[in-house]
A and B are shown apart, each in its own frame.
Chain A
């Protein structure tokens, strides 16, 4: 006796009874007996026998493998503490930051990353009992120089990227900016002209506000063209 009480993409709030019967369920859903309830404000997603609620707001929770943009808030002898916009601070150890052996007596950690630096890092491990471990060892990771960083809801990052990167590539093309998105809701934007950067940021803010609506890619396209 499977029964759904909401349409796909409906806005649900905590406590809403989503379904009764036997379903597989993902984030934003709790089960009590054979009833399924929403736990967050979000969009109901119905994929046959799998139901979930896509949250529209909330703090970023680190996951191993995520790419994040962090702000260095503290420097230790052999490690850096990064604010990654989540309830837990990111820990970057020298082992995960430099390929060569790091000797705290000879080298100065501040010469690699100093307080206030913006760092693109990858989350190596996180299990909630300890603060997440970061790494900047891979190519392309490390300090981000210049540009601007904006913060949006982490939940809306997939929307900014779009299907197969359609949205982000369009913004890049139309604003001629380089854009790096962190899963933690921070986006780094750098353009040749300030106006370009501002246009890209405006577009991203628009996506954040309208993340739960349809036909967004076309609207952003129109928006960027009208602003040109």
Chain B
């Protein structure tokens, strides 16, 4: 793809590129998150004249089943260019290039997604290039990773994609279409700013070692800027809703604790019982008994007095709710246990002894909250 570098793409006097950017400047980039209602997660990226839509489905059941991996999720990526995305109509048939990009993007994403959380499932990522202007694989990777985060899929970090290239023997950041075609080389890079990891690196053209090092350094700088844009887009989705209700009365302080609801309470309870699972079992059995008692009461009442169905149903749903509450407690307990298990073994004992004191702490905290509420 790379040209021979004979076309002048950088102004010698000002050092500016054909679109007026400096060598280390990104194109104006904007990301919108949650643009599709039917996908589990989605993102739309504008990067210069690139417009790319990424949609994430999953984790979901995989068909055909024989492709499923027993220990982790499969990450399947489908990169497609629209027929109208380029100046000359692109044939709708999937090309070799599209398959290649699909593969490198899914490989890159595989390195950050915690796929072991969802064995035997698939995570599907559909990328549709609506308008292409060079560097689509990097922009696609950025969009795909943002969409994954939007879908609530756990990841170690967020990948930001950016390309650097060689134009008139100068290393420049974020190539647009003309630079991509007439320049003498490009390096697309997927980089995670928080992990300091490169998850995608390709090279086209000829670079000296010095130029290569410079290019990678420049790409990392660019990726860090893109990461900030991704973070902002993901936060904004929720921050905007939150802002609608900001600046309400002072009551909020007391009410704030309300947000943690069941959780804080269950934490206190569950942490207290972490070291004594046996007791917990007994307790839950007791609770079960209580429930059945309640149920039989319901029955008796309905038999004797012919209480309206509605009331009985109410009781049923009440009990369902109670079950829910307990389940929440149990959930927190499980989470605790996992965290303890994942911690270093020597620390386990320490952690457990800490528990008792902490549960007391939590309880007192609780009382405070209750007081505030009253």
**Residues of A participating in the B interface, judged by any CB pair closer than 8 Å:** 9, 11, 13-17, 22, 24-28, 30-31, 37, 39-41, 43, 45, 47-50, 52, 54-59, 61, 63, 65-67, 87-89, 120, 122, 128-129, 139-140, 155, 157-159, 161-165, 168-169, 172, 178-181, 183, 190, 192, 209-210, 212-219
Q: How far is the CB of B32 from chain A (nearest CB, A)?
A: 15
* Inter-chain contact B241/A11, CB cutoff 8 Å: no
The chain B residue sitting closest to A181, CB to CB, is B324
Contact assessment for B157 and A14 in the assembled complex, using a CB-CB cutoff below 8 Å: yes
Let me know if B25 is at the binding interface, CB within 8 A: no
Please judge, given known A-B contacts A41-B149, A47-B264, whether A157 and B324 are in contact too, CB under 8 Å.
yes
Please tell me if the beta carbons of A39 and B114 are within 8 angstroms of each other in the complex: yes
Task: Establish whether residues A49 and B354, one from each chain, have CB atoms under 8 Å apart when the complex forms.
Answer: yes
Q: Whose C-beta in chain B lies nearest to the C-beta of A168?
A: B321
Q: List 7 A-B contacts (CB under 8 A).
A: A27-B335, A30-B156, A56-B238, A120-B320, A139-B292, A178-B316, A215-B248
Contact A63 B334 (CB under 8 A): yes
Having A58-B151, A66-B327, A120-B320, one finds 17 other A-B pairs with CB under 8 Å, namely: A9-B259, A11-B235, A11-B238, A14-B154, A26-B332, A31-B342, A45-B263, A61-B117, A61-B118, A87-B121, A140-B316, A161-B262, A161-B321, A164-B262, A192-B310, A213-B244, A215-B252
Closest to A39 in B: B154
Query: In the complex the two chains form, is A57's CB within 8 Å of B317's CB?
Result: no
Assembly CA distance A52 to B321 (angstroms): 25
Determine how close the nearest CB of chain A comes to the CB of B305; give it in whole angstroms.
19
CA of A28 to CA of B150 in the docked complex: distance in angstroms?
14
**B239 partner residues in chain A, CB cutoff 8 A:** 11
Q: Are B242 and A212 in contact (CB under 8 A)?
A: yes
- Docked Cα-Cα span, A168 to B310, in Å, equals 16
Give Cα A159 to B337, complex, Å: 23
A173 to B231, CA, bound (A): 41
Binds A, one of B54-62, B131-139, B207-215: B54-62
Q: Within the assembled complex, what's the spacing in Å between the Cα atoms of A58 and B73?
A: 15
Query: Residue of A at shortest CB range from B73?
Result: A87
**Which residues of chain A come closer than 8 Å to B330, judged between CB atoms?**
63, 65
Stretch in contact with the other chain, from B86-94, B171-179, B189-197: B189-197
- Whether the Cβ atoms of B241 and A212 lie closer than 8 Å is yes
From residue A163, how far is it (CB to closest CB) to chain B in Å?
A: 4
Contact residue among A26, A158, A163 (Cβ-Cβ distance under 8 Å from B339): A26
Interface mask (B341-364 → A, CB under 8 Å = 1, otherwise 0): 011000100010010001001100
Q: With A26-B339, A165-B325 in contact, do A49 and B358 touch (Cβ < 8 Å)?
A: yes
- Within 8 Å by CB of B235, from A13, A39, A190, A213, lies A13
Q: Are A26 and B335 in contact (CB under 8 A)?
A: yes
A214 to B156, Cβ gap below 8 A? no
